[in-house]
Amino acid sequence: MNEATVRSSRLRRRTALIALAFVAVAGVAFGSGIVGPADAAVASVSTGKPPKPPGGGGGGGGGGGGTTELEYVAVGDSFAAGVGARSYLETTCYTSSKGYPRLLDADANLRLVALPACSGASTVEVITGQVPAIPTTTTRVTLTVGGNDVGFAAVMQDCFVLRTSACESRIQYGEALVADGTIKANVAAAIQAIHARVPGAKVIVTGYPLLFNLPNARYQWAARVNDGTVNLNNAIEAAALANGAVFVDVEVAFAGHGIGSAGPWINDWSWLFYTDGFHPNASGYVAYAAEVRKAIG
């Protein structure tokens, strides 16, 4: 075997190893659906702060008690779990202590009683694996979902990591599901399932931030994906408003903080921290929490 053949063989092996490594981690990095509905329901996460003492802190010792806190549950995908913020509480769903649900739990009027949100969850997995985990006493539920339904993992993989010729078809697949009403129907079904589980609860549905600061010289497809995210958010908002839920738009809050900005709130791709790629960082989830806080009370 001559030297050129040896070099070619080594290059093929390295390429194969990189591809295998990507396949192994893509489900975690993008929430590609490797985590199924059963996993989403059983991820063991300590939720909530210590209970308040009986009596609500008042004097007089007249019995009674209880708390003025609203019981809160967060369902949805990796953006609801807090992927990208690190400080992960477990490695099944990658819920984070710095995700917006745990940040809201620190508020005096809220108590996070369950956090079944899970990386990889689609609307189907929210309905089948997460909604049943909502306690029937819950009065506030946040929902972030829809990205995996349109193929978020595949788009990130083929347009921004491996940059393959499949990028265009991946984007078109998601665009078609938004355009034909599928995403609106899917999100509506998830909201309806929550209402059926906890009929008196207020449901707060969030959108997604635009991932990229524009113009973006590094990523050819950045503007196209941002446009797709706007359309996805519009479909999610329509589903929320048509089904008795409140919609929280985070696009304005994240403006100027996408990938490629001077102060990004979205993590760029990194093989070292592949779990976090294309998700908000800790500052991003602070912004998420601030927007949700306006609607959840």
Cα(232)–Cα(121) distance, integer angstroms: 16
Q: Could you give the 3-state DSSP secondary structure of residue 144?
A: strand
Select the more confidently predicted residue: 11 or 202.
Answer: 202
Task: Name the strands in the sheet holding 202-206, side by side, starting at the edge strand that comes first in the sequence.
Answer: 110-114, 70-76, 140-144, 202-206, 246-248
Strands in 44-193 per DSSP E: 70-76, 110-114, 140-144
pLDDT tens, position by position, 93-112: 999 999 999 999 999 999 99
Cα(16)–Cα(157) distance, integer angstroms: 16
pLDDT recorded at residue 228: 98
Closest Cα to residue 118, out of 127, 109, 110?
127
So which residues are the catalytic ones? 78, 279
Q: Using DSSP, how many helices (H) and how many strands (E) does the chain show?
A: 11, 5
Residue type, 27: G
Partners of 114 in the β-ladder: 73
pLDDT tens, position by position, 244-292: 999 999 999 999 999 999 999 999 999 999 999 999 999 999 999 999 9
pLDDT tens, position by position, 155-187: 999 999 999 999 999 999 999 999 999 999 999
Kindly state the average pLDDT of the residues 12-32.
44
> Strand 246-248 to strand 70-76: parallel, antiparallel, or no bridges (unpaired)?
unpaired
If pLDDT is split at 50, 70 and 90, which confidence band does 220 have?
A: very high
Q: Please list the alpha-helical segments (H only) found in 119-221.
A: 123-125, 152-156, 167-179, 182-197
